[in-house]
Every structure is written in structure tokens, then in C-alpha cells.
């Protein structure tokens, strides 16, 4: 079987240092105590590189080293973007190379934003940070590494980008190392073991009211429609509303035009800008850019309001830019909609939705494609009562993301392919990323269930990157899942560094007695261990989900 994602582009030296990483926070000096650079670098992901980065004259404390590293990372991000821009302005590049570089351009710009925000927070304090501030900064620094890796993967996948890839290889490797060191130093200085958020399984009641129920009741679609049509009737705060209607009866006839009309850089305190997308099939590729924050998009129901496209890697798009719908604007919420990519299984990677929006939420939505359906790219995300259809790696990416009360449908792939539900992309042990599937169902879609022409093997996931992390808990696992449960990526790659776990699942495919015996695979028996991966802990949902009106369960069911 072919590998459908490019393995991590980290250098061999960095990979080795990550594999043998043996961090011991218990031996760290107090962060305000001056120490030499060698001591500050001990236990980081690459101590040798760290020592080459930090100033060698005198001693400083961990806070100073951390700020220095983030400032150096920001300077590096600006320099790397300059290199990318020079390649793009130089001309005479093949289309594939240009597409990959344009992704790098966008991602590098995001890195500059994230590093600027992280640096501003760190410059305001010389003490440990408490949540949500600590989680905010760790999320940004984690996303910077993800963005850099996505850039590298895109260049690696584009055959025509070989000259650009060679030219950027060293700067890209050094950027990855530097960003990793910054994340390491941040966690050592500002997120001390005694101040990390509690990782308990005690269910914390959602701040909006009843456990598992939100301001949108799962059975009350009329409430959702009224919210779109009349902001005054909404149970959430709104800051303007428009309607998209293909007949011309609304404010706009396309979703893209409505997004363009949204106010820029809302901070959420004034509420959401609501876009009601009436029933219809909207054949357009939509981008919600980074400056369109706190947009709430409400459709008329799954299968009724449909946004559809057919971009794919086979047709020349990067995986990143094949998405029918892509969202970057913080605080995005989608309700009662379908996102679809119709490229089909023969076109390989073809994304229905890509999300790199922090604090984003999807409720009663469906995502329909085959390979790489739902790209949970980065930052913090939550999916509730959604349907996801796909074949190979159809939930993939490196966000901190929780799926609750969702149904994951394995479709019929091309002959000879195996289905893998997840391909999680964590590349660094200090990233606070991972995929949680809680209270969901993993089943066969009708086309797979009805097929008798050839047998399809189905797995819960495979490790796309070195520190891949996925937890499936309190879910119904259908009998289609192979008894081994999980599929290797390539030989023994990542099998000792990944973290895959199952907890209290049911169904014909939930039996763990014949599961893989990889060092990184776990069957959890402790509610405290499972509690690490709940909404309250994995994405700190108690701090931001109440304002969305979407129901959620903070702890274990």
C-alpha cells in the first residue's frame, strides 16, 4: 500500500534526539534562578542546537532564555518568509512548486502572527502562567511547528519543487529545531509541573448549564433557524447577520461574498457575525481568512445546505489547498451544514474541510469525501453531533481536537486500499495536540456495508508523524474494525513514540484482546488517565465553548 502522506521532514539528528528524549521536570531549577545555557538546554528536544542558539556570555534564568528563544524564532520566521517570497517573485517555477510555496507563504505569515502574540504574553510576565494563558501560548507555539511541517510536506510532495526544496532544506530544518526549542523552554519556564492544569477525570459541569446540553438543543432546529434570521431571538450574542440565498432573496448569492462582507478582527466580546446559508448546493471553494474572526455560519440542515468542490492532489492541488472549505478565523462556528469534496477515491487526497482556526466549533455538520476528508490542521477545535465520511486517513492533522457524539462512516475505497479513520500528525513531545473521539460511533457507510466484491480492512488509525496521539473512548466501535485495531505507517516508524489509547468502548470491534502490542499503545483502565483527553482538559472547553451555544460534556460521560 502506498504512503499517502509524506513522513516528517525533521533531520536525522533531531529525530534521534526526540527518540531518546528523557525529560525530567522534577530536576529543573526554579525558573527565576540564573543558570548557564547548558543547564537551561538540558532536557529540551535538541540540547546541542539549543546551546548554539542561546547567548553564551553569563547566566540568565529560564524566563529570559525563553523570551530570547521566542524573539529569535520571530526573527527567523520573518527571514524564512522573505526566502519564500524571493522564490515566488523569481519566476520560472512549475505550477506545483508555486502552489507549495504559496502554502508556505500563508503558513509563514501565520507563524509571525503567533510568535508575536506569544512573545507579547511572555514579555508581560516573569512568573508561571495559569490556564487559559498557559494553554493559549502552548497552543500557538505548537501550531508554529505544525505550520512549518505542513510547508515542508507540501514541498516534499511536489515533484516539480525539487530545486526549491533543496534551497530551503537547511533553513527549514533550522526553523523546525528553533521552534521546537522555543516550545521546550516555554514549557520548562512558564508551565511548571505544579502549575499545569489538573488532569483529573472529575466531570466539570459546563458553565452554560446542564451537562451535555447547550443553548442550541440538538432536537430544536427551529432555534437555529431563528438565530440566523433574527439576531434578537438568538440565545447567543450576535454582531450583525446576513443571509445567503441562491435565488437572490438574501443579502448575497454566494458564501464567499458573505464571508468577505464580515467585519474584520472581531474579538468575540460583541458576539458573532452570523451568516445564514439557506438550503441549496453551493459549488464554490470558500476561505474564511485569519482576519474574519467570530463568524457563525448556520445552514438549514445536513444535506440541505451543501458547500461542494472537487479539488484534489491528482489534479494539481496541494493537500492543504484542496479543501472545499478552509477556515483560519478564530472563533468560527458552523451549524447544520454539509461540506463535501466530490473528487472521488481515485483522486487520492481531496479535503472537504480544513480547519486551522483556534477555538472553532462544528455542530450538526457533515463532512463528505474519501481520502483526507477532514483536515483538523492546528490549534483547538470541537465537533459535536457531526457525521464524517471517508476512507484513507479521513480525520487527519495536528490540532487539539475533540469529537463528541459524532458518527464516523468508513466508505468503500479503491480496490487494494485499507481504510484508516485517523492519521494524527503530532511531531514534537511538547505539543499539546491530539485527537480525542469520545462518545462517538465508528461504522460502515452504506456503500462499504453493501460491497461483497472485495474485502476492505479497516483500522482506527495509523501514525502519520512521530508523536501521533489519538484516544478513542466511550465510543461504539463497529465490527468492521480489524482486531489489531491500528495500522503501522511504515515498518516500526513511530511505534514507540506514538500515544494511542482506548478506554471503555463498546461494540463488536471494541475488543482489545487482539490489539497491536506496540510500546505506544495503551488500554486505559484509569478514569484519571482518560480524563486527560476530555473537553475540559484536552481543549479547555469550559473557558470558551459556552459562548458558542453548542452542547458539550466537559468530562467523562
Cell numbers 521566542 correspond to 70
Scanning 190-286, the segments in alpha helix (DSSP H) are 221-229, 255-261
Q: Are 419 and 458 in contact (CB under 8 A)?
A: yes
Q: Which of 373, 451, 362, 457 is nearest to 408 (CA)?
A: 373
* End-to-end Cα spacing for the chain: 38
Alpha-helical runs (H) found in 421-516: 446-450
Q: Which helix (H) or strand (E) holds 502?
A: strand 499-503
DSSP state of 308: E
Q: Report yes or no: 486 and 515 within 8 Å, Cβ to Cβ.
A: yes
List all residues 6 or more positions away from 14 whose beta carbon is below 8 Å from its beta carbon.
45, 46, 49, 173, 176, 177, 180
Secondary element (H or E) of residue 437: strand 434-438
CA angle 487, 489, 490 (to 5 degrees): 125
User: How many CB atoms are closer than 10 A to CB 226?
Assistant: 16
**Given 393, 405, 428, 542, which residue is catalytic?**
393
What does each C-alpha distance from 489 to 145, 165, 389 come to in angstroms? Answer: 21, 24, 21
DSSP per residue over 112-133, as a string? HHHHHHHHHHHHT-SSPPPTTH
Q: Which has the closest alpha carbon to 179: 133, 152, 141, 134?
A: 141
Q: Can you tell me the distance from the alpha carbon of 518 to that of 140, in angstroms, rounded to the nearest whole number?
A: 31
> Are the C-beta atoms of 402 and 368 separated by less than 8 Å?
no
Q: How far apart are CA 508 and CA 479, in angstroms?
A: 4
| Residues near 218 by beta carbon (within 8 Å), at least 6 away in sequence | 364, 385, 551
120, 169, 121, 117: which is closest to 143 by C-alpha?
117
Reading the block at residue 520, the C-alpha cell is 505506544
Q: Is 136 in the active site?
A: no
Residues forming the active site: 393
Amino acid at each position: 500500500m502506498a504512503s499517502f502522506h509524506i513522513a516528517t521532514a525533521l533531520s536525522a539528528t533531531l529525530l534521534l534526539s526526540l527518540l531518546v528524549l528523557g525529560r525530567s521536570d522534577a530536576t529543573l531549577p526554579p525558573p527565576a534562578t540564573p543558570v548557564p545555557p547548558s543547564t537551561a538546554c538540558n532536557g529540551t528536544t535538541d540540547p546541542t542546537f539549543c546551546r548554539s542558539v542561546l547567548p553564551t556570555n553569563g547566566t540568565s534564568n529560564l524566563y529570559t532564555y525563553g523570551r530570547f528563544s521566542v524573539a529569535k524564532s520571530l526573527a527567523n520566521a520573518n527571514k524564512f518568509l522573505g526566502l519564500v517570497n524571493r522564490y515566488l517573485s523569481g519566476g520560472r517555477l512549475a505550477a506545483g512548486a508555486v502552489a507549495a510555496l504559496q502554502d508556505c507563504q500563508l503558513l509563514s505569515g501565520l507563524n509571525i502572527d503567533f510568535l508575536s502574540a506569544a512573545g507579547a504574553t511572555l514579555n508581560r510576565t516573569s512568573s508561571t502562567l495559569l490556564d487559559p494563558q498557559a494553554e493559549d501560548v502552548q497552543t500557538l507555539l505548537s501550531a508554529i511547528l505544525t505550520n512549518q511541517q505542513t510547508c515542508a510536506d507540501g514541498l516534499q510532495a511536489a515533484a516539480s519543487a525539487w530545486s526549491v526544496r533543496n534551497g530551503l532544506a537547511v533553513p527549514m530544518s533550522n526553523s523546525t529545531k528553533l521552534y521546537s526549542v522555543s516550545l521546550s523552554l516555554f514549557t520548562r519556564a512558564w508551565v511548571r509541573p505544579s502549575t499545569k492544569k489538573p488532569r483529573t477525570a472529575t466531570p466539570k459541569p459546563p458553565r452554560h448549564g446542564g451537562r451535555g446540553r447547550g443553548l442550541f438543543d440538538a432536537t430544536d432546529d427551529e432555534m437555529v433557524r431563528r438565530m440566523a434570521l433574527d439576531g434578537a431571538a438568538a440565545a447567543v450574542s450576535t454582531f450583525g447577520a446576513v443571509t445567503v440565498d441562491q435565488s437572490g432573496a438574501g443579502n448575497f448569492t454566494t458564501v464567499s461574498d458573505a464571508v468577505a462582507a464580515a467585519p474584520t478582527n472581531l474579538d468575540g466580546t460583541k458576539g458573532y457575525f452570523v451568516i445564514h446559508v439557506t438550503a441549496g448546493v453551493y459549488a464554490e471553494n470558500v476561505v474564511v481568512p485569519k482576519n474574519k474572526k467570530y463568524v457563525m455560519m448556520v445552514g438549514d440542515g445536513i444535506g440541505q445546505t451543501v458547500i461542494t468542490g472537487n479539488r484534489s492532489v491528482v489534479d494539481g492541488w496541494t493537500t492543504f489547498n484542496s479543501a472545499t472549505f478552509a477556515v483560519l478565523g478564530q472563533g468560527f462556528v458552523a451549524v447544520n451544514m454539509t461540506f463535501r469534496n466530490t473528487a472521488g477515491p481515485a483522486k487520492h487526497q481531496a479535503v472537504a474541510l480544513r480547519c486551522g482556526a483556534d477555538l472553532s466549533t462544528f455542530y450538526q455538520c457533515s463532512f463528505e469525501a474519501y481520502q483526507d476528508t477532514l483536515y483538523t490542521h492546528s490549534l483547538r477545535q470541537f465537533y459535536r453531533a457531526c457525521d464524517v465520511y471517508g476512507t484513507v486517513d479521513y480525520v487527519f492533522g495536528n490540532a487539539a481536537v475533540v469529537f463528541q457524539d459524532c458518527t464516523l462512516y468508513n466508505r468503500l475505497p479503491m480496490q487494494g486500499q485499507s481504510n484508516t479513520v485517523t492519521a494524527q500528525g503530532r511531531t514534537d513531545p511538547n505539543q499539546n495536540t491530539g485527537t480525542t473521539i469520545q462518545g462517538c460511533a465508528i461504522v460502515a457507510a452504506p456503500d462499504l456495508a453493501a460491497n461483497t466484491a472485495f474485502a476492505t480492512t479497516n483500522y482506527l488509525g495509523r501514525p502519520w508523524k512521530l508523536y501521533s496521539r489519538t484516544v478513542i473512548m466511550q465510543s461504539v466501535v463497529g465490527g468492521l474494525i480489524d482486531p489489531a485495531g491500528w495500522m503501522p505507517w511504515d515498518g516500526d516508524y513511530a511505534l514507540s513514540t506514538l500515544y494511542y489509547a482506548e478506554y471503555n468502548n463498546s461494540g463488536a470491534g471494541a475488543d482489545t484482546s487482539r490489539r497491536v502490542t506496540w510500546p505506544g499503545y495503551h488500554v486505559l483502565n484509569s478514569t484519571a488517565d482518560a480524563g486527560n483527553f476530555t473537553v475540559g482538559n484536552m481543549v479547555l472547553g469550559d473557558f470558551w465553548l459556552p459562548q458558542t451555544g453548542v452542547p458539550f460534556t466537559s468530562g467523562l460521560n
